[in-house]
Amino acid sequence: MKKALLALVIGLSIAACPAVYFLVGPAIDEVQAATLKILLIIAGCSALCCFTAGELTRNNSQMDKLWSILPAVYTWVVAAKGGMQPRLVVMAALATLWGARLTFNFARKGAYSLRFWSGEEDYRWAVLRSRKEFQPRWKWAVFDLLFISVYQNALVLATTLPALISMRSEKPFGAVDWIAAALMLAFIALETVADEQQWAFQSKKHRMLAAGAELDSLPEPYRKGFNTRGLWAHSRHPNYFAEQCIWASFYVFSIGAGVGVFNWSVIGALLLIVLFMGSSNFGEEISSAKYPLYAEYKRKVSKFVPWFGTLDD
């Protein structure tokens, strides 16, 4: 059932991009088409590298390492091809700020190495890889190719499409753009706070466990196994909430460019929401199996939007 649902989501995603383009518009011109070709070449090379390195090393976090880097590359290519218009430069600068922060957060977990194909793998890939649905090994290789490497690279590119659709705009940088920039900065700040709180909690917990303590013997709140303080008291995934809002805010720039309130570049932000729904569900499935109190945490605390309910209520 889950495999069929995943295939359905991926199939609908592939169909949605051209459908939204033709049904909603606007059409791209020759300069935008040429720029998109460059972006597609970069994405294609990235997908090939991710798949090859992932299969050879059995480390499937290759795309995870590039997730925070590629949007900056894409937006600066668009800015350069668009004549370094103020709107495009601001969009590229914000994508770079977002990417630098996220890259740092991933790097301190040991994800990057001088041997670029090595580094710490996201623990969720190992859990997923061990499931019977991906046995024998070739089934995982197909999943790696189609979802991890191709689909995720396409999704990352799609999130930056508001820059592409804005590159031929003659409308000056205005109030809507200022709102988009302010929102994006606010949500980057929110994501930073959430990640710092999680890093502090997990680091201290693992230091105590490494010293020989048992989870049940740790002081509160560490004995629960998962963070329930700060933003995490009011949202099970405040970082995911902020991440989705960042790219929704990025889309607002296309509205400021005068291409319409609803245009085809929204597809990236929408598909990102779908991805985080699936990713969060899988992560919570793992947490529920490890930590007895997590079921109650799910029942009492909002999944994404920070809200009033807490585990202690």
Residue 26, pLDDT score: 83
Give the closest residue to 87 by CA, choosing from 258, 225, 217.
258
Whether the CB-CB separation of 29 and 81 falls below 8 Å is answered with: no
pLDDT value of position 283: 94
Written as six digits, the tokens of 230 are 């700060």
Token couple for 167: 């590159």
Domain ranges of the chain: 24-300
User: Can you give the pLDDT at residue 8?
Assistant: 63
Strand, helix or coil for residue 211 = coil
Series of mean pLDDT values for 10-residue runs along the chain (313 residues): 57 64 77 97 98 95 96 98 98 98 95 86 92 93 95 96 96 98 98 98 97 95 95 97 98 96 93 91 94 95 92 76
Half-sphere exposure (Cβ direction) of 266: Cα atoms closer than 13 Å: 15
| Residue type present at position 190 | L
Q: Is 7 left (phi over 0), alpha (psi -120 to 50) or beta?
A: alpha
Residue 40 structure tokens:
């597609």
Residue pointed to by tokens 């710490």: 120
Write down the pLDDT at residue 81. Answer: 97
Cα–Cα distance measured from residue 246 to residue 71, given in angstroms and rounded to the nearest whole number? 12
pLDDT of residue 299: 94
**149-177 pLDDT tens trace:** 999 999 999 999 999 999 999 999 999 99
* Entry pTM: 0.92
DSSP line for 250-276: HHHHHHHTTS-SS-GGGHHHHHHHHHH
* pLDDT 10s digits, 222-248: 999 999 999 999 999 999 999 999 999
Q: Can you tell me the distance from the alpha carbon of 87 to that of 291, in angstroms, rounded to the nearest whole number?
A: 46
Q: What's the confidence (pLDDT) of residue 308?
A: 87
Contacts of 83 (CB under 8 A, 6+ apart): none
pLDDT of residue 312: 79
